[in-house]
């Protein structure tokens, strides 16, 4: 058979092969963790390319992270060698959205070099808006408004789609107008926030059919990984792109696992999976049931745990690893410090047995759990990398350096300009910055232009006028030099000539050498990119999961960012009630929140190939207060026959699991403890007195971004399809 020649098909089972070979028409691959969904997608692309069904640029493939996109690119390169004509459009929703938006920036009142704002910039911008409107930020926090924006944008709603009632009581009903002002302000700054990357695509596709038609002709095949976590905006975007053909003929393949839907809190709609067969009639559905990743003990633990969820599509999962493997362990320790010590010791022990640090990961529920682990590893001299925590690109010195580079690339980027205008100190105080702001606002322009205007007037004091004139001249000079100089060399010069490097050299605090080191690392990392624009794009998009890769290092990350990954050994610390499942999540969403937490636990366990080590601390310090902790109910839900329970017996007799994990803790009604908390009851009371979605606050504190995501006015019902 001709197919037998195709090497890449050899390693697949029958169902996987079918999923790869069914290239025409809509296809849904619905399958549990580790069944090869991602592998199917990669192989499918290889197949389309080798069979010459399409050129690289005619394939659109959406991955969950940029890292996944890079890995996929590498694998495809290996599978099909040099025959690839043009690489597929491979990336996250955001990165592909950004690429499209840059091409049509003028249709969104932007220039193609627009800046992508991160949360920090976004909050600063909102603060300015609130300030200009005399809205009391203590009463109506910028962060709360940012959450509202997020919810709207995740649902694909433009300012015109949001009625004043939708913004609830925020700033006494002014939320909707603020949304419009915020968008207008972004245009002036030549900037887009993350939500815009897709929202503006959607708007352009709807308003300019010829643009959409172009992409219909271009993308012959579409593939989406981790489909269970797509939100409404992503869904609408995909639907628009798939509309080039009748729905029943669209070449769209989505893969997902309803049990791994863990972004509901960000507006993901697991219903998208259920809806797929309706939207694309005649879609083929393929289920994969063989797990190639984990030992049978690990799979059994994960399957038994997730069976406690009610809302499931239901799937079977069998191991193909052919090994029972080690039992899972649950270790009960005194506190989180001891937990970190334990984990450190175990890692060293495995290392002595010849296992690599790269094969081990620690997955935490909350990022505050990371610090103690990091400190311990530093003490031990253990290499580690943190992914998704306090990130390299979020460090102050890195953000400052990037701000300089952003202003060079896009002088309209006022937020970046503001960030560094007085860093290092140049004697430009708040009042000067305020004057710049007022001028910019009055002239409806950006800070740099406003500064130029001010320099022509008498409004600035002589000293400040000189300083600002020199600063702008420097920026002009740097921009000019960018033509003749590699951008990383320019970056070094900028840091030196601006006095920024000198500022940290003069700083005597213990962390300044590290900061200087980070700046060097930043410049080094720029060498990988051809242009400054390319580098800045990378920064905006890639921050979420990338750190500087050490050679061999243990990975520390949140459970949320571990999706799709696998490690021989997985440590899961902090399995305590309140921390995991998170109290907040249960308070906000009740049973749905608990089920999402359980899916997160399922994701965590199924990352492990050979070994899964859980732990719980009997005492934990949360925001400075010691609290004694109860074991997570998820521990109780694990099948005792595959779990070994250990107590380090340090001091306190608290919770020993004499008889095994199961049965030791009895939650007669697992929800009783949730419903009876005062927070929950107050939230309930407020919720029933409100109509529609939107954020929920209790006594001024935001407790829920959106209480009834999707159940109120979703765009599906408002004729936006």
Give me the residues that bind ligand ATP (CB under 6 A), please. 11-13, 16, 31, 33-39, 257, 260, 292-293, 564, 566
31 assigned binding-site residue: yes
442 assigned binding-site residue: no
Judge whether 620 and 629 are in contact, CB under 8 Å: yes
Q: Three-state DSSP class for 200?
A: helix
Rounded Cα distance between 608 and 110, Å, is: 45
Rounded Cα distance between 300 and 319, Å, is: 9
Residue 35 contact, options ligand ATP, Mg ion, none, Cβ 5-8 Å cut-off depending on partner type: ligand ATP
Buried b (16+ CB within 10 A) or exposed e, 142-169: bbbbbbbbbbbbbbbbbeebbeeebbbe
How far is C-alpha 477 from the chain's CA centre?
A: 37
Catalytic residue among 260, 295, 342, 369: 260
Best CA proximity match to 446, nearest among 406, 411, 472, 478 = 411
Catalytic residue among 166, 225, 339, 537: 225
> Could you confirm whether 260 is annotated as catalytic?
yes
32 assigned binding-site residue: yes
Q: Of 161 and 566, which has the nearer Cβ to ligand ATP?
A: 566
Q: Of 341 and 609, which has the nearer Cβ to ligand ATP?
A: 609
- Looking from the CA of 1 toward its CB, the CA atoms found within 13 Å total 6
> Could you confirm whether 607 is annotated as catalytic?
yes
Catalytic residue among 290, 607, 609, 633: 607
- Helices marked H in 133-193 — which ranges? 142-154, 175-188
Determine the residue with CB nearest ligand ATP.
36
Q: Of 33 and 557, which has the nearer Cβ to ligand ATP?
A: 33
DSSP string for 142-154: HHHHHHHHHHHHH
506 assigned binding-site residue: no
- Shortest reach from residue 342's CB to Mg ion, in Å: 30
Residue 33 contact, options Mg ion, ligand ATP, none, Cβ 5-8 Å cut-off depending on partner type: ligand ATP
Q: Of 34 and 388, which has the nearer Cβ to ligand ATP?
A: 34
Determine the residue with CB nearest Mg ion.
38
> Could you confirm whether 37 is annotated as catalytic?
yes
Rounded Cα distance between 188 and 445, Å, is: 6
Q: Of 71 and 644, which has the nearer Cβ to Mg ion?
A: 71
Catalytic residue among 58, 226, 576, 577: 226
Rounded Cα distance between 336 and 545, Å, is: 25
Q: Of 38 and 467, which has the nearer Cβ to ligand ATP?
A: 38
- Shortest reach from residue 226's CB to ligand ATP, in Å: 7
What is the torsion angle, in degrees rounded to the nearest 10, for the CA atoms of residue 227, residue 229, residue 235 and residue 237?
Answer: -90
- Helices marked H in 159-245 — which ranges? 175-188, 194-207, 209-218, 232-242
In the region spanning residues 535 to 574, those forming contacts with Mg ion, defined by CB under 5 A, are: 564
What is the torsion angle, in degrees rounded to the nearest 10, for the CA atoms of residue 335, residue 337, residue 342 and residue 344?
Answer: 160
Six-digit token string for 555: 């990975």
Rounded Cα distance between 66 and 222, Å, is: 17
34 assigned binding-site residue: yes
In the region spanning residues 478 to 537, those forming contacts with Mg ion, defined by CB under 5 A, are: none
- Shortest reach from residue 719's CB to ligand ATP, in Å: 35
Residue 34 contact, options Mg ion, ligand ATP, none, Cβ 5-8 Å cut-off depending on partner type: ligand ATP
563 assigned binding-site residue: no
Task: Give yes or no for residue 38 binding Mg ion (CB under 5 A).
Answer: yes
- Greatest CA separation found in the chain? 84
> Could you confirm whether 38 is annotated as catalytic?
yes
Best CA proximity match to 256, nearest among 233, 223, 302, 294 = 223
- Shortest reach from residue 246's CB to ligand ATP, in Å: 29
Residue 67 contact, options Mg ion, ligand ATP, none, Cβ 5-8 Å cut-off depending on partner type: none
308: how many CB neighbours lie within 10 A of its CB? Answer: 17
Residue 39 contact, options ligand ATP, Mg ion, none, Cβ 5-8 Å cut-off depending on partner type: ligand ATP
> Could you confirm whether 287 is annotated as catalytic?
no
558 assigned binding-site residue: no
- Shortest reach from residue 110's CB to ligand ATP, in Å: 35
Q: Of 36 and 573, which has the nearer Cβ to ligand ATP?
A: 36
Beta strands in 623-656 (DSSP E): 625-628, 643-647
Residue ranges for the known binding site for ATP are 31-38
- Enzyme catalytic residues: 37-38, 225-226, 260, 607
**Residue ranges that bind Mg ion, judged by CB under 5 A:** 37-38, 564
Residue ranges for the known binding site are 31-38
């Amino acid at each position: 058979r001709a197919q037998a020649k195709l090497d890449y098909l050899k390693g697949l089972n029958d169902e996987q092969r079918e999923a790869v070979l069914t290239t025409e028409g809509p296809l849904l691959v619905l399958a549990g963790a580790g069944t090869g969904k991602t592998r199917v997608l990669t192989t499918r692309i290889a197949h389309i390319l080798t069979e010459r069904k399409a050129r690289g640029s005619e394939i659109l493939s959406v991955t969950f992270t940029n890292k996944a996109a890079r890995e996929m690119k590498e694998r495809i390169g290996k599978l099909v060698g040099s025959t690839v004509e043009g690489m597929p459009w491979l990336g996250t929703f955001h990165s592909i959205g950004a690429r499209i938006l840059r091409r049509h920036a003028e249709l969104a009142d932007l220039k193609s070099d627009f800046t992508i704002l991160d949360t920090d910039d976004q909050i600063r911008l909102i603060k300015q808006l609130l300030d200009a409107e005399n809205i009391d930020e203590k009463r109506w926090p910028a962060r709360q408004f940012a959450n509202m924006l997020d919810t709207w944008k995740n649902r694909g709603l433009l300012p015109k789609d949001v009625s004043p009632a939708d913004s609830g009581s925020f700033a006494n009903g002014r939320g909707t107008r603020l949304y419009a002002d915020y968008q207008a302000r972004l245009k002036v700054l030549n900037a887009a926030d993350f939500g815009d990357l897709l929202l503006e695509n959607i708007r352009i596709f709807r308003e300019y059919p010829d643009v959409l038609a172009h992409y219909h002709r271009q993308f012959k095949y579409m593939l989406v990984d981790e489909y269970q976590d797509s939100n409404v905006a992503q869904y609408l975007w995909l639907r628009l792109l798939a509309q080039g053909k009748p729905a029943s003929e669209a070449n769209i393949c989505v893969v997902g696992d309803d049990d791994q839907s863990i972004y509901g809190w960000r507006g993901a709609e697991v219903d998208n999976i259920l809806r797929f067969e309706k939207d694309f009639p005649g879609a083929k559905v393929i289920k994969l049931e063989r797990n190639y990743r984990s030992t049978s003990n690990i799979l059994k633990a994960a399957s038994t745990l997730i069976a406690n969820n009610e809302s499931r599509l239901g799937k079977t999962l069998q191991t193909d690893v052919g090994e029972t493997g080690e039992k899972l362990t649950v270790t009960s320790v005194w506190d989180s410090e001891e937990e970190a010590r334990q984990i450190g010791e175990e890692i060293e022990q495995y290392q002595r047995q010849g296992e690599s640090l790269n094969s081990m990961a620690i997955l935490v529920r909350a990022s505050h759990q990371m610090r103690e682990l990091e400190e311990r590893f530093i003490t031990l001299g253990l290499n580690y990398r943190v992914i998704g925590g306090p990130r390299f690109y979020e460090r102050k010195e890195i953000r400052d350096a990037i701000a300089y580079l952003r202003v060079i690339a896009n002088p309209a980027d006022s937020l970046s300009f503001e960030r560094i205008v007085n860093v290092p100190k140049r004697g430009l105080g708040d009042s000067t910055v305020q004057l710049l702001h007022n001028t910019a606002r009055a002239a409806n322009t950006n800070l740099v232009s406003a500064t130029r205007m001010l320099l022509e007037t008498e409004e600035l004091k002589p000293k400040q006028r000189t300083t600002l004139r020199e600063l702008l001249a420097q920026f002009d000079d740097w921009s000019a030099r960018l033509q003749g100089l590699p951008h990383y060399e320019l970056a070094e010069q900028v840091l030196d000539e601006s006095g920024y490097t000198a500022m940290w050299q003069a700083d005597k605090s213990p962390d300044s050498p590290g900061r200087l080191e980070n700046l060097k690392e930043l410049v080094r990392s720029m060498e990988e990119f051809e242009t400054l624009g390319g580098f800045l794009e990378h920064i905006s998009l890639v921050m979420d999961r990338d750190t500087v890769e050490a050679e061999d290092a243990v990975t520390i990350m949140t459970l949320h960012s571990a999706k799709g990954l696998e490690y021989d050994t997985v440590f899961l610390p902090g399995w305590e009630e309140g921390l995991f499942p998170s109290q907040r999540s249960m308070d906000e969403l009740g049973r749905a929140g608990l089920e999402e937490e359980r899916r997160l636990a399922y994701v965590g366990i199924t990352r492990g190939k050979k070994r899964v080590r859980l732990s719980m601390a009997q005492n934990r310090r949360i925001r400075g207060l010691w609290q004694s902790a109860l074991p997570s109910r998820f521990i109780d839900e694990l099948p005792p026959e595959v779990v070994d329970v250990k107590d380090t017996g340090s001091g306190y007799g608290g919770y020993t699991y004499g008889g095994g994990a199961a049965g030791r803790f009895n939650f007669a009604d697992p929800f009783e403890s949730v419903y009876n908390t005062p927070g929950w009851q107050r939230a309930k009371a407020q919720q029933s007195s409100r109509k529609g979605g939107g954020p929920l606050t209790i006594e001024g504190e935001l407790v829920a971004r959106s209480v009834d995501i999707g159940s109120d006015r979703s765009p599906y019902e408002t004729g936006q399809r």
